[in-house]
Amino acid sequence: MLALLRWLIGFGFAACVLTFAVLNRDSVTLTYTPIHDPLEIPIYALGLGLLAIGYLFGALTIWVSDSKLRRERRKQKREIKQLHKELDTHHNPQPHSKIFKDAELEKLLPALPDKTKA
C-alpha cells in the first residue's frame, strides 16, 4: 500500500514538473553579476535547476545531520561483533589439547598407576 502511495505521489509530481516545463518555454534574462553578460535561459530550466539545487542541499543537510547516528551505529556493530566473539568462545571452549602442547599437558597431569601389570 505504501509503495502504491509513493508511486502515485511521484507520478503526480512528475506530471506537475512536465506541465510546468511545457507551459513555460519562454526565455528569461538572468543577470547574476554586473560583471558578466546576462544569460538567456528558458523559465522551465531555471525552475528545474533551482528545484534540483534545493533537493541536493536538503539531501546534504540530512546526510550531515545524521552523521552522529551513523557513527553510533558503526560503534554498536563493532561492539555486537566483539560480544558475539566472546559469547562463542565461552560456549565453545577449545579442548585442552589445543591450548597446551602434549608435553606441557603431561607435566600438568599426575602420573596414573599402570593397571595392565595385574
pLDDT in tens, 84-117: 888 888 776 665 545 555 566 566 666 656 655 5
Q: What is the rounded (10 degree) CA torsion for 92, 94, 95, 97?
A: 170
Q: Determine the Cα–Cα distance for residues 101 and 107; give it in Å rounded to an integer.
A: 10
pLDDT in tens, 20-57: 888 888 898 888 888 888 889 998 888 889 999 999 99
3-state secondary structure (DSSP) of residue 39: strand
Q: What is the pTM of this model?
A: 0.55
- For residue 40 the three cell numbers come to 538567456
Q: Determine the Cα–Cα distance for residues 40 and 23; give it in Å rounded to an integer.
A: 17
The full set of domain ranges for the chain reads 13-65, 69-110
